[in-house]
Amino acid sequence: MSKGRQLKDRIAERGLVQVMAGHSPLSARLAAEAGFDGIWASGFELSALHGLPDVSLVTMTQHLETMRAMVEASGLPVVADIDTGFGNAINVIHAIEQYERAGAAAVVIEDKSFPKVTSLIAGGRQDLLRVEEFQGKIEAACATRRDPDFLVIARCEALIAGLGEAEALARSAAYEEAGADMILIHSKQKTPDEVESYVRAWRGKVPIVVVPTAYPEFTVERMKALGKIAVAIWGNHAIRAAVTAMQRVFRQILDEGGIRGADRDIVSVEEIFRLQGMDRVKQDEKRFLR
C-alpha cells in the first residue's frame, strides 16, 4: 500500500487526521511514537534547523533528503511542504517525480511567488501568483504523478496576503478545477474566525487542510464540527519544543556550573540508544559478526 493510500484510508476511517510537523528523522520517529497520523515535512522547521530564514533558501535536495529519511524513520505518511515548488511548473514536474519516488504521501504547493516569505512574519512580503499560473503548477503536478493516490494539495495564501475571503474562495475553486485533491487554507489571525468563515462558505468537493499555528484555540473538536476539514497540521511545534528545551538546559548547565541538575530533567542516554535502534545493532552483531 502506498503512503498516499494509507493517508487516504486514515482520513476515511477517522474523518480528520492529525499531522505533526518534523524537521529530522528523530522528530518524525517521536511523532510516530506519540500517535500522530502523519508527518509534516516542514520547510519552516528545516530552515530553522539550518539557522536560516524561511525564504526559499533551503534547497530541494536538502529538503528531499530530509523528507526521505523521515519517511524511513517514522513509517507514517509524510506530507511534504515544498513551498512554491522550487520554481515554475517545469520545476514542479521535476519535484513531483523526486518526492513521489522518495516515498512522500502528498505534497503541498503554495500560490506565492518565488522566492517566498514565511507566512506568519509581521510585515512580510506576501506576493501571490496569477491564478492561471498557479493552476498550471497544479495541473503539472497532477499530470506527473504516477500513483493516483499521491495527493497534490494546493495551499491558498489569499488570507495571509490580506485579500479577503472572496478572493480565497475564488482561488481555491480555481485550484480544485486544476485538479488539486485538497485545499490548504492559511491565516495569521489570532482567532479561528477567519478560517471558520472560509470553511463554512466553501462549496467545493475537495476537503480542507488547516494549520492553526496562529490561533491555537482552533481545536480538533471545533474542526470536526465544521465537517469539511480532513487534515489538521500542527505546523511548527516540534522545532519550538526543541528550542525551548535546549535553551532551558543550556542555561541551567551554565548557571549551575555542571550537568548534575540538568541530567535529572532530560531523557537518559539509554532512551537515545532505544530511538537509535541500538538493540537491533547488538542482535545483528551477535548474529553476523564472526
Average pLDDT over residues 128-143: 98
Looking at residue 110, the DSSP 8-state letter turns out to be E
* pTM to 2 decimal places: 0.95
Which residues are registered as beta bridge partners of 17?
231
pLDDT tens digits along 52-72? 999 999 999 999 999 999 999
Could you give the angle at which helices 89-101 and 131-144 cross, rounded to 10 degrees? 30
Please indicate whether residue 54 is annotated as part of the active site.
Answer: yes
The count of other CB atoms within 10 Å of the CB of residue 26 is 18
Catalytically annotated residue among 9, 37, 54, 83: 54
Cell numbers describing residue 108:
503541498
The per-residue pLDDT of the chain, averaged, comes to: 97
> What is the reported pLDDT for 123?
86
pLDDT tens digits along 73-84? 999 999 999 999
Asked whether the predicted pLDDT for residue 124 surpasses 90, the reply is: no
Options 3.40.50.800, 3.30.565.10, 3.20.20.60, 3.40.640.10; which CATH number does 3-236 get?
A: 3.20.20.60
> What is the reported pLDDT for 121?
81
Spell out the domain ranges in the chain: 3-236, 243-288
Buried b (16+ CB within 10 A) or exposed e, 54-71: bebebebebbbebbbbbb
